């Protein structure tokens, strides 16, 4: 059975258009509640959201749907996605739900789910919910309806959790840090975390109005962070996205570091920490998981550290699945989704930032100094629109040209061609040590697609 509603990270779309409508979300809540009721008698579901104006409407619909199936609800208010994952686990809840469209603009919204262990749910669970959506509703009678409460201290509990992941003998005193919360879910939380660890905080992107989430700020628009760091003479800048599960970091010189580079830094730091304590590398540090888009220079650098390196499909969900499969703890993608399973069960922009700053404090070296041995290869990405019905995988000319480009690049680059999961586009990416070569090779491949 193929999924009709669930994508790679829950259900997402434009508010007011199917499926992001209040009637569907009520049905979704009812279906989820019925699936939970099959597993336990009195399920409790945590619901958090970001700062989009549509969150109020969808929260009410979801709450009603869950209650109608006999599931009780604990409302967290605006909190980051990883806060919902943490609190679901800490509260021993049955399920965690996040109402957010992450880095998308405010007209979009979405719904994603976490298991009782604070992890993304498997395909089988999503298929069970979709099958339940196809059945007529079975409303619980009055005595069996669920209830709803609000958790007033959700933000405070999560702040303390974030701080607990930072070494107790270290602090951020003496650092000036610009914190950009993208006018999103961490707008109150993120500045407090860094301030309570001793940093002087300059907050930007922390004034949501329901319509400005991710608008010119945050991890998807790091130029605002770069300007603020330089303007205020800050030591670092931390940018999160709308639901605060991804990170972009800027240093005092205005240099932006992406998730690929930070993944290498975290891997090197974990190894150095073990060596400093005279500890052997455990099996959980045998390897690192990236994605198909992870920069080749990072893969080579990670291998030089003695790690295995495995590529998963694009999306933090697939990175997490691969980590669980192999029993490893470190993974991530260039967009800033970083996974450290010894710190949290899911990607967390705040926890990731704290781990990077901890590595700097422990080593006495800046981020740039720790990344001197890794120079990212230039990447060229060209999106080519596919005509209806074209099977690019059976295109012999494209296959021949791809082999020719790969032979030309040899060990100094790579080719990745993949279809978009949301649009009729073919994404052609070439990576090479020479940027002009990457551009020329990508254009050759794109031209073959366009000519057929």
Measured CA to CA in angstroms, residue 213 lies from 9, 104, 189, 241, 372 at distances of 19, 8, 15, 9, 34
Sheet of 72-78, strands arranged across: 11-14, 108-114, 95-99, 44-49, 72-78, 148-150
Check: CATH 3.40.120.10 for 259-370? yes
Q: pLDDT tens for residues 23-67?
A: 999 999 999 999 999 999 999 999 999 999 999 999 999 999 999
Query: How is residue 320 written in tokens?
Result: 């997490």
According to DSSP, the residues that pair with 331 across neighbouring strands are 289, 339
379-450: CATH class: alpha beta
* Burial per residue of 126-140, b for 16 or more beta-carbon CB atoms within 10 angstroms, e otherwise: bebbbebbeeeeeeb
Q: pLDDT tens for residues 375-413?
A: 999 999 999 998 777 789 999 999 999 999 999 999 889
Q: What is the dihedral of CA 323, 219, 15, 427, to 10 degrees?
A: -70
CATH number for the domain whose boundaries are 11-152: 3.40.120.10
Q: Read off the pLDDT band of 416 (50, 70, 90).
A: very high
| Fold (topology level) of 157-254 | Alpha-D-Glucose-1,6-Bisphosphate; Chain A, domain 3 (3.40.120)
Predicted pLDDT of residue 451 = 84
Quickly list DSSP for 27-95: HHHHHHHHHHHTT-SS-EEEEEE-S-THHHHHHHHHHHHHHHTT-EEEEEEE--HHHHHHHHHHTT-SE
CA angle (11 as vertex; 6, 14 as ends), nearest 5: 135
Q: Which of 102, 335, 345, 352 is catalytic?
A: 102
Q: pLDDT tens for residues 73-105?
A: 999 999 999 999 999 999 999 999 999 999 999
| Helix (H) or strand (E) segment spanning residue 129 | helix 123-133
Domains 157-254 and 379-450 alike in fold = no
Q: What is the mean pLDDT of the chain?
A: 95
The distance in angstroms from the start CA to the end CA of the chain is 33
Q: Report the residue count for the chain.
A: 452
Query: Considering the entire predicted model, what is its pTM?
Result: 0.92
Predicted pLDDT of residue 390 = 78
Domain positions in the chain are 11-152, 157-254, 259-370, 379-450
Q: How many CA atoms lie within 13 A of 85 on its CB side?
A: 21
Predicted pLDDT of residue 111 = 98
Q: How much of the chain exceeds pLDDT 70, in percent?
A: 99
102 is catalytic: yes
Which of the residue ranges 146-150, 312-316, 444-448 would you say has the lowest mean pLDDT?
312-316
Q: pLDDT tens for residues 168-201?
A: 889 999 999 999 999 999 999 999 999 999 999 9
Q: Read off the pLDDT band of 1 (50, 70, 90).
A: low
- Whether 217 has a pLDDT exceeding 70, the answer reads yes
Query: How is residue 126 written in tokens?
Result: 């999503």
């Amino acid at each position: 059975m193929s999924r009709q509603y669930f994508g790679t990270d829950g259900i997402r779309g434009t508010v007011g258009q199917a499926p992001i409508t209040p009637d569907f979300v009520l049905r979704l809540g009812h279906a989820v509640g019925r699936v939970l009721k099959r597993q336990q008698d009195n399920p409790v579901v945590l619901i958090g959201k970001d700062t989009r104006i549509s969150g109020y409407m969808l929260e009410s619909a979801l709450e009603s749907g869950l209650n109608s199936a006999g599931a009780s609800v604990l409302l967290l208010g605006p909190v980051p996605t990883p806060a919902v994952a943490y609190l679901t686990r800490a509260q021993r809840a049955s399920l965690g739900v996040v109402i957010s469209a992450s880095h998308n603009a405010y007209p979009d919204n979405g719904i994603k789910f976490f298991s009782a262990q604070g992890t993304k749910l498997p395909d089988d669970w999503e298929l069970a919910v979709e099958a339940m959506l196809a059945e007529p509703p079975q409303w619980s009678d009055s005595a069996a309806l669920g209830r709803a409460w609000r958790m007033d201290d959700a933000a405070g509990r999560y702040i303390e959790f974030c701080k607990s992941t930072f070494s107790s003998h270290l602090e951020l005193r003496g650092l000036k840090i610009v914190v950009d919360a993208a006018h999103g879910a961490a707008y109150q939380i993120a500045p407090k975390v860094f301030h309570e660890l001793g940093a002087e905080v300059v907050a930007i992107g922390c004034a949501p109005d329901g319509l400005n989430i991710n608008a010119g700020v945050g991890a998807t628009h790091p130029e605002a962070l770069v300007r603020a760091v330089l303007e205020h003479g800050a030591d670092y800048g931390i940018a999160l996205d709308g639901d605060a599960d991804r990170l972009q970091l800027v240093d005092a010189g205005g240099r932006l570091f992406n998730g690929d580079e930070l993944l290498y830094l975290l891997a090197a730091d974990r190894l150095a920490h073990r060596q400093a304590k005279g500890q052997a590398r455990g099996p959980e540090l045998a390897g690192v998981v990236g994605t198909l888009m992870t920069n080749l220079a990072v893969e080579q650098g990670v291998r030089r550290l003695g790690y295995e390196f495995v590529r998963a499909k694009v999306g933090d969900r697939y990175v997490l699945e691969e980590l669980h499969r192999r029993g490893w703890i470190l993974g991530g993608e260039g967009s800033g989704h970083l996974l450290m399973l010894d710190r949290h069960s899911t990607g967390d922009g705040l926890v990731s930032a704290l781990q990077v700053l901890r590595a700097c404090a422990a080593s006495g070296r800046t981020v740039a100094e720790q990344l001197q041995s890794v120079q990212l290869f230039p990447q060229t990405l060209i999106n080519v629109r596919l005509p209806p019905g074209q099977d690019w995988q059976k295109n012999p000319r494209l296959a021949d040209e791809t082999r020719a480009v790969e032979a030309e690049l040899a060990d100094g680059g790579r080719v990745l061609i993949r279809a978009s999961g949301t649009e009729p586009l073919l994404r052609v990416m070439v990576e090479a040590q020479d940027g002009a070569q990457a551009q020329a090779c990508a254009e050759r491949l794109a031209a073959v697609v366009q000519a057929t």
